[in-house]
Structure 1
Amino acid sequence: MAELNSVELVVSGRKLVTPEGVRAGHVLIGDGRILAVTDADSRPAGATRLDAGDAYVLPGLIDSHVHFRTPGLTHKEDWEHGSRAAVAGGVTTVLDMPNTVPPTLSPEALWEKAGLVRGHSLVDHRFHIGLDPERPELLAELAPEVATSAKIFMAGHHTAPTVVRDPAQLEKAFIAAAQSGVQLVLHAEDGELLALLDSWQGAPGSYGHYEAHRPRTGTIAAVARVVELVRRHGARAHILHLSSAEEADLVSAAQAAGLPVTFEVTGHHLSFTDADTRRLGARTRLSPAIRGQADQDRLWEALRQGLPSTLGSDHAPHTVEEKTRSVEQSPPGLPGVQELAVAVWTGMRRRWPEEDPDTAACRLVRHLASGPAELFRLPGKGRLEAGADADLAIFAPEATWMLSSDQLHAKCGWSAYEGWTMTGQVLRTLRAGRVVWDLESRSFGAYDGQLLGAEEV
């Protein structure tokens, strides 16, 4: 039991989502950490009490796939707005991608980005370092205090300036990653194959033809290549934004064979189909593309089976002006860190209405908290237990509400989910025991999120 005189805050509720399951109890918090999760409300004089009632008390969520656009692309998004959107969605830790201007391909670039973010973040954070296609062997020397993960783009798009096109260089990256133990995260599309198809049939001229011009062929071929490289060299590979049934089958087979291949499913691939892209146009223009209903069904089934290691938003905002360009010129990507948890929760409750909500809450925590914390080596994150960081989200599972533009916090100011009726709502978010988002007052805390650096590794 925690020393009572060190308890500063007690969060009480009937639905604490702990590693052992959902239980009633009290979370005792002091000095930014969880001191105990207990049946007894042993609150010393002067300690604050927060009663969650029948709302779920979740560990702070982790979005391991965001593009907060700092540095160089802050007309689309910046760290202040991105972290506001995150905490409004219950997310207290993010892992940011390297395709900025300039791209973060070296330790020096990462430390410089950390300096730019300092004092402007509501969330704790790490950075995926980018693979330099000209120097893949540098991954063998990557120190864990710099980054425990490296992003590889296997295909290019508007904000991916460092694409690995040479198969020999890609293989060198896997060899180097196996030597250092760095976790690879991959945008797995075969860019050369997509270019070949474009040279034959032309680039998509309308959103009615978009998915057919950015087909599953490119992703399946790339995922198969990744699986073979993992089999050959033993590197750990995490495939981002899995989009098709065939990819899910390939990775599931690799996992069953004991290969260290994991995958992410995004909120938008669970929420939209190619029919939505025909209707919404650029708002759901993505790379890889949104696919058909059968693919979406397969991804949901994988989630129900517990197969993905992470759920990610791939929060990649663009301005309205950029998104209203021609089909050829409009960039792929959408904002999503604020919408991620509620969109997935809404989908689970609609698809599986007979499921015990406690089971759904544990699934959400597994894929949006404990799973990414384990995969990306984030001690203290992703669990509601003594010794963990006091990052919490108070989540009302039965709340029903419509998402409108005035509720959005991303700098771009739009969402593909506008007009959706959502089930579930984040009432409060706490980071290190301090409230950083309160829905009732629509207020935020102070910008002091920490870089998860060497001392936490």
Structure 2
Amino acid sequence: MAELNSVELVVSARRLVTPQGVRAGVLHIGGGRILAVTDTDTAPAAVRRMDAGDAYVLPGLIDSHVHFRTPGLTHKEDWEHGSRAAAAGGVTTVLDMPNTVPPTLSPEAVREKAALIQGHSLVDHRFHIGVDPQRPELLAELDPGVATSAKIFMAGHHTAPTVVRDAAQLEKAFIAAAEGGVQLVLHAEDGELFSLLDGWWGEPDSYARYEAHRPRTGGIAAVAKVVELVRRHGARAHILHLSSAEEADLVSAARAAGLPLTFEVTGHHLSFTDADTKRLGARTRLSPAIRGQADQDRLWAALRAGLPSTLGSDHAPHTVAEKTRSVRQSPPGLPGVQELAVAVWTGMRRRWPEEDPDVAACRLARYLASGPAELFRLPGKGRLEAGADADLTLFSPDATWMLSAAQVYAKCGWSAYEGWTMTGEVLRTIRAGRVIWDRATRTFGAYDGRLLDSTAGG
């Protein structure tokens, strides 16, 4: 192959996680791309080489749900710290949310945000543009070079600056998204139900009662509205951080009926239950709330059955000072991009110890690589194959280690997973053929992650 004359790096592995399954093989990398996937090393002797040994070589992971807080909220998180946490978690690409200060509601705001981030990101990135409640019709003419997805905060979200509260405006957003071919991503909770409950028994004043005050009915009612809007207008919609068994059933049934509706499961809804919120308090105060054991079991069953399209971290850090406010004033959210892959791997190995690890590795690659790459139109991402970007995650499946605050790279400096004994460890993270995280030396690479253009080839 003539291209092999351009090889800059050869990665040999016994466990390449490819679209066809796990296999032994060799990746020939040059110019930031995978030039070939072969059975043997055919590169010139002078080329740099890396032996992955028994580690899985996954496609570089994609977290399609992060809040890196730039601009305006960088006291909680910034792109340098957020991208360090991502790289340490095996993530090479992130999609960032628009609820910043000011919010990212226009092409101009997207360009300004990209300029702020340039030179400060270890990882490649795109942005979900925000739906402006006053101008939802703008989605019909959205330039796909700017954004291909748009975030709607439905009325159950109390802290975002751009909540769509009016039913007519919400419907206009679905109509415009269908016209413009825009992928909607939704925080789907019904705030009117929460207001009814708060008016009846007051806002939550203890974490023992937090889930009851922000119950599953808010999510179920909102998802039912989304199903009807998708049915009526044909817009593509992706439910974020789905939290209950009933929501999983609704979305799965809608998709089986042919509707373009998908959903995400977060690491924290798979890892914690409402009993943990009673114990950990604000650390697992989230929106949507952490549910009970039966809901967690249903989400795991959905994961095993292949029903979600993505896993996401909803990485949304707050400072310790913010999290130690009163129950009524403490903001929802936790850091999670660093913990996502290892937490889900830990859960899979504990729940299904008899399962072939290769099956689990392919599942991880599906939900954290090929799935989000396809859903959000990220050319070159999510697969180990010739022509794809040379983004790799070297993952040791059997390593065990305990997470401490000293190992947290998010700016907030804390994790809800502190004290957890994890199974699985990210050894190296490689973006565009260059190492951006090395576990052995705890060092990072260059802050030259790029803004991804969905209209580019790849």
Does structure 1 retain, via aligned residues, the 8 Å contact 2:156–2:188?
no
Does structure 1 retain, via aligned residues, the 8 Å contact 2:309–2:372?
yes
In structure 2, the residue matched to 1:101 is 101
In structure 1, the residue matched to 2:31 is 31
User: How much does 1:200 deviate?
Assistant: 1.1
User: How much does 1:197 deviate?
Assistant: 1.3
Q: Please give the residue correspondences for 1:302-381 in structure 2 after superposition, counting only pairs within 5 Å.
A: 302-381=302-381
Instruction: Provide the C-alpha distance between the structure 2 equivalents of 1:244 and 1:98, rounded to a whole number of angstroms.
Output: 25
In structure 2, the residue matched to 1:382 is 382
CA-to-partner distance for each residue in 1:280-308, whole Å, 9 max, x for gaps? 00000000000000000000000000010
Instruction: Provide the C-alpha distance between the structure 1 equivalents of 2:45 and 2:252, rounded to a whole number of angstroms.
Output: 53
Q: Secondary structure at the match of 2:163?
A: coil
Q: Secondary structure at the match of 2:138?
A: helix
Does structure 2 retain, via aligned residues, the 8 Å contact 1:8–1:46?
no
Does structure 2 retain, via aligned residues, the 8 Å contact 1:370–1:382?
yes
Does structure 2 retain, via aligned residues, the 8 Å contact 1:157–1:332?
no
User: How much does 1:195 deviate?
Assistant: 1.2
Q: Secondary structure at the match of 2:81?
A: helix
Instruction: Provide the C-alpha distance between the structure 2 equivalents of 1:167 and 1:116, rounded to a whole number of angstroms.
Output: 35
Q: Please give the residue correspondences for 1:72-87 in structure 2 after superposition, counting only pairs within 5 Å.
A: 72-87=72-87
In structure 1, the residue matched to 2:446 is 446
Q: Secondary structure at the match of 1:49?
A: strand
Instruction: Provide the C-alpha distance between the structure 2 equivalents of 1:45 and 1:220, rounded to a whole number of angstroms.
Output: 59
User: How much does 1:454 deviate?
Assistant: 5.6
Q: Secondary structure at the match of 1:449?
A: coil
Does structure 1 retain, via aligned residues, the 8 Å contact 2:156–2:192?
no
In structure 1, the residue matched to 2:135 is 135
Q: Secondary structure at the match of 1:71?
A: coil
In structure 2, the residue matched to 1:402 is 402
Does structure 2 retain, via aligned residues, the 8 Å contact 1:158–1:331?
no
Q: Give the unaligned 5+ runs of structure 2.
A: none
Q: Secondary structure at the match of 2:208?
A: coil
What amino acid is the match of 2:31? D
User: How much does 1:4 deviate?
Assistant: 2.7
What amino acid is the match of 2:112? E
What amino acid is the match of 1:219? G
What's the C-alpha RMSD, in Å, of the aligned pairs? 0.9
User: How much does 1:7 deviate?
Assistant: 0.5
Instruction: Provide the C-alpha distance between the structure 2 equivalents of 1:186 and 1:284, rounded to a whole number of angstroms.
Output: 21
How many equivalent residue pairs? 457
User: How much does 1:5 deviate?
Assistant: 1.7
Does structure 1 retain, via aligned residues, the 8 Å contact 2:157–2:163?
no
Instruction: Provide the C-alpha distance between the structure 2 equivalents of 1:10 and 1:295, rounded to a whole number of angstroms.
Output: 44
Does structure 2 retain, via aligned residues, the 8 Å contact 1:106–1:129?
yes
Q: Give the unaligned 5+ runs of structure 1.
A: none
In structure 2, the residue matched to 1:120 is 120
User: How much does 1:2 deviate?
Assistant: 5.5
Instruction: Provide the C-alpha distance between the structure 2 equivalents of 1:251 and 1:453, rounded to a whole number of angstroms.
Output: 29
User: How much does 1:455 deviate?
Assistant: 5.1
Q: Secondary structure at the match of 1:199?
A: helix
Does structure 2 retain, via aligned residues, the 8 Å contact 1:63–1:312?
yes
CA pair 10-207 structure 1, distance change in 2 beyond 3 A:
same
User: How much does 1:55 deviate?
Assistant: 0.3
Q: Secondary structure at the match of 1:422?
A: strand
User: How much does 1:179 deviate?
Assistant: 0.4
Does structure 1 retain, via aligned residues, the 8 Å contact 2:66–2:95?
yes
Q: Secondary structure at the match of 1:208?
A: helix
**Identity rate, percent:** 85
In structure 2, the residue matched to 1:289 is 289
Does structure 1 retain, via aligned residues, the 8 Å contact 2:4–2:35?
no
User: How much does 1:95 deviate?
Assistant: 0.2
Q: Secondary structure at the match of 1:291?
A: coil
Instruction: Provide the C-alpha distance between the structure 2 equivalents of 1:335 and 1:272, rounded to a whole number of angstroms.
Output: 14
In structure 1, the residue matched to 2:184 is 184
What amino acid is the match of 1:217? T
CA-to-partner distance for each residue in 1:213-250, whole Å, 9 max, x for gaps? 00001000000000000000000000000000000010
User: How much does 1:158 deviate?
Assistant: 5.7
Instruction: Provide the C-alpha distance between the structure 2 equivalents of 1:280 and 1:100, rounded to a whole number of angstroms.
Output: 27
